[in-house]
Amino acid sequence: MSAVIEEHHDDHHDHKPTGIGRWLFSTNHKDIGTMYLWFSFTMLFIGGALALVIRAELFQPGLQFVEPEFFNQMTTLHGLIMVFGVIMPAFVGLANWMVPMMIGAPDMALPRMNHWSFWLLPGAFGLLIESLIMSMMGMGSAPNFGWTFYAPLSTTYGPDSTDFFIFSVHMMGISSIMGAINIIATIMNMRAPGMTYMKMPIFVWTWFITAYLLIAVMPVLATAVTMMLTDRNFGTSFFDAAGGGDPVLFQHVFWFFGHPEVYIMILPAFGIISQVVPTFARKKIFGYSSMVYATSSIAFLSFIVWAHHMFTTGMPVATELFFMYATMLIAVPTGVKVFNWVSTMWKGSMTFETPMLFAIGFIFMFSIGGFTGLMLSIVPADFQYHDTYFVVAHFHYVLVTGALYAIYSAVYFWLPKWTGNMYDEKLGKVHFWVSTISVNVLFFPMHFVGLAGMPRRIPDYNMQFAEFNQMATIGAFVFGFSQLILLWNVVKTIRGRSTVKATDQVWEGAEGLEWTIPSPAPFHSFTTPPTVK
């Protein structure tokens, strides 16, 4: 009997589905990681298209292309798709691919749950995009209350499609929680012998910490949308002042989820940069343990700063002071990370392949986003900046030239490992330079119009803001279409069009912590010649 079972097991093990079945039924962490990445890339173009509608409308004052109502739907869906459909799935895809390989595990701990957590996402975003299609066909309205869906805009005044949106958010949340449980189970139980926690690559550490954040805050988001659901359909009044509720309560609940959420979107990016920079500097990461502790500190502090999004709601001064100082404190561990990356590059044998260019671009432009965040943390200043384009500029420097640049860096860095082929380095560099110039033309002018008082989420504006808005719109279209270069490069690499095959040691053996220093050793100062034996 046992022989029969073993034989059956071997048959099952050898069976490898091909074609569409491979993708529909796969429990392989690499296949699931690939699907997450392609899903994220698809959503990037959809969310980007909505952003281009917004920027086209803002090219000049007055109403040109879309009605204010439709403009609001664009801003709402652009935000939701970019946050939940692009940045988060891309990082989960990278975790699926790389975490088992980095810790020496054969697969994720819970492969079937992994499969399920991916396939919830197309359904969730199908619901959201369906509401937009119905709106375009004149059959109702898509969600139109901003990606933060504040009550009472989303409860008392929300369109019928808000219920689709609530269901969609629940599905995304279930997917995220299952993915996070899987990552924690994998890292805790499936590390290779000898790999202690303090020997794990930084990317694994950042995802380990991020997974705990997800498990902590996703139920809070589920709570918020469930209260919205009962307010809308079952006569409760959690957020309705007329029934004894409090609309500001919604903001507290939302931002208690929302602020750790923005760190969920940046901590894995820190992990990627901590893998890429040492590779191309050909040195170990400077201050490994301080990087781990800094990441943990950021995660802890992210829970006690949520109300800095709410300085203008009329909090007591003592509360404002607490949230101001707590927010400023986050700059310290973040500064430690930036210092360690720069120190890793210092006197290294630097080369500037595409992943390294995106990593350096990340460090520089993410720091700009960090500094503007520090400006926003100052209460009296925030009273001026709140809900202006200065805030839009701030978080796009963090999420586009931060999170998205880290994802690009990771894709170029690991693509040879995934496909066995080298990508086209010239195309990669063109992608980097066109993106970097255009993304700054797009977002940098927003600082100026924001400081001058231009409000967010408004389809029309004063004549004085016209030139900067035209610059931003031109930058947006160039940046948007330059992402087609990446698409072409990735497709070309997967199909093996380039003659260059990737070697076993793609980047000359500098991945992870255990690698040999190329000779001559790069640690000598530039003034002292290396000693000759």
Answer whether residue 484 shows pLDDT above 90: yes
From 8-12, 93-97, 268-272, 326-330, the region with the lowest mean pLDDT? 8-12
**Structure confidence by residue, pLDDT tens digits, 423-460:** 999 999 999 999 999 999 999 999 999 999 999 999 99
Chain-centre distance for alpha carbon 116: 21
Mean pLDDT score, 264-275: 98
Q: Could you confirm whether 274 is annotated as catalytic?
A: yes
Active-site residue, from 456, 492, 498, 508: 456
**Phi-psi category of 525—alpha, beta or left, where left has phi over 0 and alpha has psi -120 to 50?**
beta
Q: Could you confirm whether 175 is annotated as catalytic?
A: yes
What is the sign, positive or negative, of the torsion defined by CA atoms of 470, 471, 474, 475?
A: negative
Q: Could you confirm whether 78 is annotated as catalytic?
A: yes
pLDDT score for 204: 98
pLDDT score for 117: 97
Q: Could you confirm whether 130 is annotated as catalytic?
A: no
From 135-144, 182-191, 338-347, the region with the lowest mean pLDDT? 135-144
Domain coordinates of the chain in residue numbers?
A: 19-515
Residue 19 binned pLDDT confidence (cut-offs 50, 70, 90): confident
Answer whether residue 527 shows pLDDT above 80: no
Q: Could you confirm whether 349 is annotated as catalytic?
A: no
Q: Could you confirm whether 497 is annotated as catalytic?
A: no
Q: Could you confirm whether 405 is annotated as catalytic?
A: no
Q: Could you confirm whether 308 is annotated as catalytic?
A: yes
Answer whether residue 296 shows pLDDT above 90: yes
DSSP class of residue 421 equals B
Per DSSP, the chain holds a count of helices (H) and strands (E) of 18, 0
Active-site residue, from 23, 38, 147, 150: 147
Q: Could you confirm whether 456 is annotated as catalytic?
A: yes
Active-site residue, from 191, 232, 282, 337: 337
Residue 15 binned pLDDT confidence (cut-offs 50, 70, 90): low
**Structure confidence by residue, pLDDT tens digits, 150-205:** 999 999 999 999 999 999 999 999 999 999 999 999 999 999 999 999 999 999 99
Answer whether residue 13 shows pLDDT above 70: no
Answer whether residue 512 shows pLDDT above 90: no
Residue 508 binned pLDDT confidence (cut-offs 50, 70, 90): low
DSSP class of residue 245 equals -
Mean pLDDT score, 475-503: 92
Residue 529 binned pLDDT confidence (cut-offs 50, 70, 90): very low
Mean pLDDT score, 338-342: 98
pLDDT score for 8: 42
pLDDT score for 358: 98
Provide CB contacts within 8 A for 463, sequence distance 6+: 61
The pLDDT mean for the chain works out to 92
Q: Residue 249 class from Cβ within 10 Å (0-12 exposed, 13-18 middle, 19+ buried)?
A: middle
Answer whether residue 517 shows pLDDT above 50: no
The amino acid present at 4, given as its one-letter code, is: V
CATH class of the 19-515 domain in this structure: mainly alpha
Mean pLDDT score, 512-532: 35
Provide CB contacts within 8 A for 453, sequence distance 6+: 388
pLDDT score for 422: 93
Structure tokens at 442: 């797009």
| Integer CA distances (angstroms), 105 to 36, 96, 101, 187, 192, in order | 20, 11, 6, 9, 7
pLDDT score for 522: 35
Active-site residue, from 57, 231, 261, 424: 261
Active-site residue, from 26, 155, 176, 401: 176
The strand pairing partners of 501, in sequence order, are 421
